[in-house]
Amino acid sequence: MSHRIELETIFKTLGLAPPGHSADGLEVCTPIDGSRLASVAIDSEAQVDAAVARAQSRFKTWRELPAPKRGELVRAFGEAVRRHKAPLGCLITLETGKIRQEGLGEVQEVVDICEFAVGLSRQLYGLTIASERPEHKLLETWHPLGVVGIISAFNFPMAVYAWNAALALVCGNTLVWKPSEKAPLSALALSGLLLQTAGEQGIDPVGLAELLVGERAVGEALVSHADVKLISATGSTAMGRAVGVACASQFKRSLLELGGNNAAIVCPSANLELVVRGVVFAAAGTAGQRCTSLRRLIVHRTVHAALVSALLRAYARLPVGDPLAAGTLVGPLIDQRAFDAMQQALERARRAGARVHFGNREAVGEAAAFYVRPAIVELARQTGPMLQETFAPILYVVAYDSFDEAIAINNAVSHGLSSAVFTQDLREAETFTSARGSDCGIANVNLGTSGAEIGGAFGGEKETGGGRESGSDAWKAYMRRATNTINYGNTLPLAQGIRFE
Given a contact cutoff of 8 angstroms between Cβ atoms, the answer to whether 230 and 254 are in contact is yes
* Catalytic site includes residue 109: no
Catalytic residue of the set 257, 389, 428, 463:
257
Of the candidates 38, 127, 142, 140, the residue with the CA atom closest to the CA atom of residue 91:
38
3-state secondary structure of 219: helix
Left, alpha or beta for 36 (phi > 0: left; psi -120 to 50: alpha)? Answer: beta
Catalytic residue of the set 291, 378, 428, 440:
291
Strand 127-129 and strand 26-29: the pairing is unpaired
Given a contact cutoff of 8 angstroms between Cβ atoms, the answer to whether 346 and 359 are in contact is yes
For residues 357 and 375, give the distance between their C-alpha atoms in angstroms, rounded to a whole number: 6
Amino acid at 32: I
- CA atoms lying within 13 Å on the CB side of residue 277: 6
3-state secondary structure of 149: strand
Given a contact cutoff of 8 angstroms between Cβ atoms, the answer to whether 394 and 346 are in contact is yes
Q: What does the DSSP 8-state code read for residue 438?
A: -
CA angle 89, 211, 163 (to 5 degrees): 55
Largest CA distance in the chain: 87
Of the candidates 428, 425, 426, the residue with the CA atom closest to the CA atom of residue 407:
428
Torsion of CA 274, 443, 456, 93, to 10 degrees: -60
Strand 174-178 and strand 147-151: the pairing is parallel
Strands in 208-364 per DSSP E: 209-211, 228-234, 253-257, 262-266, 294-300, 355-357, 361-362
CA angle 427, 433, 434 (to 5 degrees): 85
Burial (CB count <10 Å: 0-12, 13-18, 19+), residue 432 = buried
Residue 331: what are its φ and ψ, rounded to 5°?
-90, -160
Alpha carbon 414 to chain centroid distance?
19
* Catalytic site includes residue 291: yes
Strand 361-362 and strand 371-372: the pairing is antiparallel
Burial 272-307 (b: 16+ CB within 10 A, else e): eeebbebbbbbbbbbbbbbbbbbbbbbbbeebbeeb
Which residues are tagged catalytic?
257, 291
